[in-house]
């Protein structure tokens, strides 16, 4: 099992460019989520999904779009990159329990720099 796979691991963008961070999981998890982590800070939830076709906003959704067309994939799109979006992005997945998520499995992260 690969677990949660994120691509690319590193990316440099210019202000105004768009790009997609890919996230795939092979554990058949219903729940997937995206976080950003700025230096020295905790993780902040961007968007999450509890199943194919269902997405919802987290704490910091502005400037990001997501879609969930399959159980396996949950791409994160930056519409028009800004320097404030320079961060490390983590994707996670989990099964759905009776009280929410179970153990979250994280990818290795994608380090994004916006110039």
CA separation for the pair 85, 96 (Å, rounded): 29
By beta-carbon proximity to another protein, the closer residue of 72 and 106 is: 106
Residue from 7, 17, 27, 43 touching another protein (CB under 8 A): that is 43
Between 65 and 104, how does the x/- string for binding to another protein read (CB under 8 A)?
Answer: -------------------------x-x---xxxxxxxxx
The reply on whether position 33 binds another protein by CB under 8 A is yes
- CB count within 10 Å of CB 74 equals 29
Distances (CA, A) of 33 to 9, 80, 83, 84, 115: 17, 21, 22, 20, 26
The full DSSP string for 21-34 is EEEEESS--SEEEE
CB of 50 to another protein, least distance (A): 6
Interface with another protein (CB under 8 A), residue total 29
Sign, CA torsion 63/18/73/42 = negative
By beta-carbon proximity to another protein, the closer residue of 33 and 85 is: 33
Binding site for another protein (CB under 8 A): 31, 33, 35, 41-45, 48, 50, 56, 58-59, 90, 92, 96-109
């Amino acid at each position: 099992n690969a677990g949660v796979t994120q691509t690319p691991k590193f990316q440099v963008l210019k202000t105004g460019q768009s790009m997609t961070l890919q996230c795939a999981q092979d554990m058949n998890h219903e729940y997937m989520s995206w976080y950003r982590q700025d230096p020295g800070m905790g993780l902040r939830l961007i968007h999450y999904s509890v199943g194919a076709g269902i997405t919802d906003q987290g704490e910091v959704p502005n400037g990001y779009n997501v879609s969930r067309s399959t159980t396996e994939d949950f791409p994160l799109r930056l519409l028009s990159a800004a320097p404030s979006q320079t961060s490390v992005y983590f994707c996670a997945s989990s099964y759905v329990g009776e009280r929410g998520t179970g153990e979250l499995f994280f990818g290795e992260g994608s380090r994004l720099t916006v110039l």
